[in-house]
Amino acid sequence: MKRIILMVLRLFYKVPYYMFGIWWQGKRKDYDLDKAYAFVKKVTKAANRAGRVTIESHGVENIPKENGFIFFPNHQGLFDVLVFLESCPVPFSFVIKKEASQVILLKQVIAALRSIVIDREDIRQSLEVINRMAEEVKKGRNFLIFAEGTRSKMGNQLLPFKGGTFKSAVKAKCPIVPCALIDSFKPFDENSIAPVTVKLIYLPPIYYEEYAAMKTPEIADMVKNRIEKAISDYENENSSVTGRKKESNI
């Protein structure tokens, strides 16, 4: 909460312009996703700088060159989408749970990016969302959905991935892009405004040929395992670097 207040205070004179701009992008008759995404990206970068948050991204080259794919990251909190909005070079929409869809500004971003609200308590509506997303991906739109269903609240540890989430990819026969978020819980969940760095690793895409014969729970486990390995490898590498620095200072 402190960091959100910091963002608002440091951008106080621009907040009305940013809010109106995002609202307008979602309402304009000559809607253009590329233009809407560019504006939301601009606002996101400004907010992250104001909030003293640095985004460190790796593997951007792994993002498919052709549109029509789905990002499947781990879920740590409300800040997760902001990480992607700053670092991802191509427009995407996202699926967000109903409970978070009324948060001020986020509500306007949902409209601007033509994102989809899902009610996970309503099985029928959830299935409709999965089917709708698959159809949109077939048309060349990119999406982001959190397969855990809710944030883990365990730092960089993951909850089980829900197999049903991957039905959208199977129906669309599209590339699955696993993404590892590291420390994304810190900006909004920790009661601090100290500078913080959030890492995002785009892993190599998994194409339909690789998962076509698999059941969705198997796909979910595969994606989860790849993300966990990426986080573990990064943390081990970071620990080794820290250790070497300490040794060199002795």
- What is the secondary structure of 71-125 as a DSSP string? EEE----TTHHHHHHHH-SS--EEEEEGGGTTSTTHHHHHHHTT-EEE-TT-HHH
pLDDT at 235 over 90: no
Burial of 52 (0-12, 13-18, 19+ CB in 10 A): middle
List C-alpha distances in Å: 80 to 123, 136, 170, 177. 25, 22, 24, 15
pLDDT-based confidence at 145, cuts 50/70/90?
Answer: very high
Whether the predicted pLDDT of 112 surpasses 60: yes
Give residue 245's pLDDT: 55
Q: Average per-residue pLDDT in the chain? A: 91
Please give the pLDDT value at position 240: 57
Gap between the Cα atoms of 84 and 145, Å rounded: 12
Query: Is a pLDDT exceeding 60 seen at residue 249?
Result: no
- Rounded to whole angstroms, the Cα distance separating 235 from 243 reads 12
Give 17-29 pLDDT, tens digit per residue. Answer: 999 999 999 999 8
Mean pLDDT of 126-148: 95
